[in-house]
Amino acid sequence: MKFGVCGKQPQFAAAAAAGLDYIELPLAKIRDLDEGQLAQMREELKALSLPAECCNQFFSGAIALYGDEAAALREAAETLRLAASFGAKIAVVGSGKARAVPEGMEKAEATDRFLRLMDRIGDMAADAGIEIAIEPLNYGETNFINTVTDCMTFCRTLGNKNVGCLVDFFHFYRNGETLDELDALRPGELLHAHLARPDPDRGAPQPEDDEVLAAWAAKLREIGYDRRLSLECGWAKQFDALIGPAVARLRPFREGK
Ligand code: LER
Ligand code: MN
């Protein structure tokens, strides 16, 4: 398994020093940078040998996914170009606000529209050599695709081989999902994973979390997941000090291989 962290400048150097394999960049936050700033970011990542293999925050806050599909597809094409320019292999579609079922719309209609959109985006991403991981988000962040089971159902209905599921263990914990729900994942359906400690503070894992992390790691091993795991935590402005110890706590995910 490869290990990374969701982060941006000025976190790159500390992430590389902590021995991480990659960085997961927030597309919505970097999309407004100018070409010079983006080039400088690519240079820094290259110098640190820290590839931006993954990206998240796919849609901007401004986009109306169920209002103007053509605009959403134009934005997605630009976003995929940006992700590809960093060499991304995975783009995460969380964007809980953008994809939420709008008030006054039936869930079935939003599902239909999101299926159509994700089918097109999945194909566009395949052309760019990027896989799309749809992220279940806890009930406080969206009203649509909240659990891994929801995500599996959505992806199976979609049937686009370039689109799959993500498990973010913070949302998983927040929703009260249980590890046996991951047993239903078929080989290849789980494309990516995020992790924070199982606590409302969504902080970096602490010694008291070791037992829970060991159980998560054992389940991922059992279902044959061996792709990537990104730390996605609140760092309380202490990223440089906390990232090394956080990476050390991922030991159970490295063991048993
Ligand atoms: C994104 O990966 C995520 O987990 C969300 O909670 C961010 O809003
Ligand atoms: Mn996440």
**Cβ within 8 Å of residue 129, ≥6 positions away:** 84, 89
User: What is the CB-side half-sphere exposure of residue 9 using CA atoms within 13 A?
Assistant: 13
Ligand 2 is a single-atom ion; what residues have CB below 5 A from it? 168, 194, 232
Q: What's the rounded mean pLDDT across residues 153-178?
A: 98
Which residues, in sequence order, are CB contacts of 23 under 8 Å at separation 6+? Answer: 4, 5, 6, 7, 11, 12, 15, 45, 50, 51, 52, 53, 54
Mean local confidence (pLDDT), 56-77: 92
Model confidence pLDDT, tens digit, residues 107-117: 999 999 999 99
Of the listed ligands, the closest to the CA of 56 is 1
The pLDDT, as a whole number, for residue 61 is 79
Six-digit token string for 88: 């991304």
Report how far residue 102's alpha carbon sits from residue 110's, in angstroms, rounded to the nearest whole number.
8
Q: Strand 54-56 to strand 22-26: parallel, antiparallel, or no bridges (unpaired)? A: parallel
User: How far apart are the CA of 222 and the centre of ligand 1, in A?
Assistant: 25
Predicted pLDDT at 162: 98
Contact 230, 195 (CB under 8 A): yes
Domains of the chain: 2-254 (3.20.20.150)
Specify the pTM: 0.97
Cα separation, 165 vs 145, whole angstroms: 10
pLDDT of 256 reads 62
The residue to mutate among 55, 137, 142, 195, having the most atoms of ligand 1 within 8 angstroms of its beta carbon, is: 137
> How far does residue 137's CA lie from ligand 1's centre (Å)?
7
> Is the C-beta atom of 168 inside 6 A of ligand 1?
yes
